[in-house]
Amino acid sequence: MNKKNLWIGLGIVVLAGLFIFLAGTQLLSAYYLKQGATEFLKGDFIKAKPLLDASLKFNPRNSESHFYLGKIALGKITETPGIDLLYPGADYSGAAVHFEKAIASGLERKNKDISLIALNDAGFSYYMLKQYEKSVPLFLKYIELNPMRAFAARYFVALDYFSRSNKPQEALDILLPAIEPSAVSSSDINGRNLFRVHTLLARLYSYKGDYASASKYAALVVENKDLSDQSLEVRIAHSLLALDYGRQKKFTLAEGEIKKAGGLDCFLSAAYAAGENHSKAIAVAEKADPAGDSYVDSFCPQVLALSYLAEGDEINAKKYLEEYLSFTEKFAEKNIFVVRYREQFTIELLKLE
């Protein structure tokens, strides 16, 4: 055999060996995936995880193994209504990594249904990690691909637009389809979390000046028997109802709603200001002793600035305009209301110069 034929023969042997090796690793990866997925579907995450890890040792790009490991990193869903943490004890960093690898490794080609779940869960994992620049595009992609089953994705994008991105109309547009019966009924979890959507809708409609709609959705929250009277959403809803009563000059009813909200004096002052009872608004706000540097505490300087402006007291108006801007400058996240008042107050200060 000449040297040329020898080298060709060796090449064929090497390629054959490589093919057999790769085929073997693929088969072993598929075997461990099947065993791990079986345990996962039984709900035994402890047995499933090492099997799925073994699958990745033989094929690090096994997209389905990454998907199931992402789900295991999230953990099991809480069944308790009103609980803020959907996945108590979740490893969101690990989940995000596995979901991203599942998507990048071609999960959609293997299983379109679970690839959509991976997209949604990756968005949620990044959201919980406060990596919103990664979370929102993933949620938007999910909404594009699965618009009628995007309850959670719509809520989280709308919340980002409300809390950080200052996109009130876009928030409302993307959130409203979440309350369609088909969207809510697609999952028991959606039904249990509908109160969160109602709360956000109430806040968005209040921002737009549609107080009838704001009160409508706030009322749905306070009527929810599964919620504690002291839950954040219920307190927000009572506060929004108080503002609406204040605008109608029904101050006794406004005071009643504030008591139900936990006695938030700064918000009570806002209710008086909404009804143009500026002297009472000033008295309540000046007497209030804000406990910290939260968004609720910012209502006192906001109301004082607006009320003194309404009464023509430029000295005190200037004082509280500056105080509000200084107070809210520290906020890591400035919601649509804060952005609105900061812009308005900056203009008002320039007028007073």
**Interval 290-337: pLDDT, tens:** 667 788 889 999 999 999 999 999 999 999 999 999 999 999 999 999
**Interval 153-168: pLDDT, tens:** 999 999 999 999 999 9
User: Contact, 303 vs 277, CB < 8 A?
Assistant: no
What six digits make up the tokens of 183? 């969207």
Region of poorest pLDDT, from 48-52, 226-230, 259-263, 300-304 = 226-230
User: Contact, 302 vs 269, CB < 8 A?
Assistant: no
Query: Residue 59 carries which side chain, given as an amino acid letter?
Result: N
pLDDT of residue 183 exceeding 90 = no
Which strand (E) or helix (H) includes residue 243? helix 232-247
Region of poorest pLDDT, from 54-58, 202-206, 216-220, 291-295 = 291-295
**Interval 12-21: pLDDT, tens:** 444 444 444 4
Give residue 247's pLDDT: 96
